[in-house]
Amino acid sequence: MILLTALFYVLWFACVYASKHDLGLWVYSFSLLAAWGLHKEFKLYPISWWKLLFLALTGVTFDSLALKFGWIVLAAGATQFAPHWLIALWIVFALALPLYLPWFQNRLWMTSILGAVTGPLSYAGGKKLDVLSFGNNTAIFYYALFWGAYFPLSLWWIRPRQDLAPTTKSLAPTESPAELPS
């Protein structure tokens, strides 16, 4: 898990660095391809791509709302929608989610705490790298609330479900015909 988290943060840093240094679509494309490769290599559970896309779009929507409400301000200038580097980050994160399932699928309370702490820290890292700033003092609180709910709910939603698996029970009676009441 430590290696996967380190690789995710390398991709995170590549996207943030690229946004600051105008390296553009080459780095974003590399990050997305690397995340997709990690997802394909370490994929442990069959997960619908539409679920991962929906989770990425949820994050993009939240960041777009954060920009609109002034919770975060981008160094590159005003925008009403998340820029391409933030969209790339959300896609990378969504592709990384299934890799965390083996460690956290039965510890959703832990992912809530981790999300509430590490989610805002990622944005604080972006602030340290001068790609964004917090528009007000409550922004970190909003991000902690969002990430405290988003991370565990995302893992809960993409986890394999036993209740949805096809049943292997036989429809035949479990008792022999001689034991059935007449």
**For 43-56, how does the pLDDT look when each residue is reduced to its tens digit (9 = 90+)?**
555 677 788 889 99
H-type helices in 21-79, by residue range?
25-42, 49-69
Residue 168 included in any domain: no
Residue 164 included in any domain: no
* pLDDT score recorded for residue 19: 73
Residue 178 included in any domain: no
Could you list the residue range(s) of the whole structural domain that residue 93 is in? 2-158
- Entry pTM: 0.76
Q: How many domains does the chain have?
A: 1
> Using an 8 Å Cβ cutoff, are 116 and 148 in contact?
yes
* pLDDT score recorded for residue 17: 76
Residue 12 included in any domain: yes
Residue 8 included in any domain: yes
Residues of the chain below pLDDT 70: 1, 4, 21-28, 31-32, 35-36, 38-46, 78, 161-182
Distance of alpha carbon 112 from alpha carbon 110, whole angstroms: 5
* pLDDT score recorded for residue 78: 65
Residue 108 included in any domain: yes
Give the β-pairing of 132-134 and 72-74.
antiparallel
The closest of 144, 45, 157, 155 to 109, measured between CA atoms, is 155
Residue 171 included in any domain: no
Query: Which residues sit opposite 132 in a β-bridge?
Result: 74
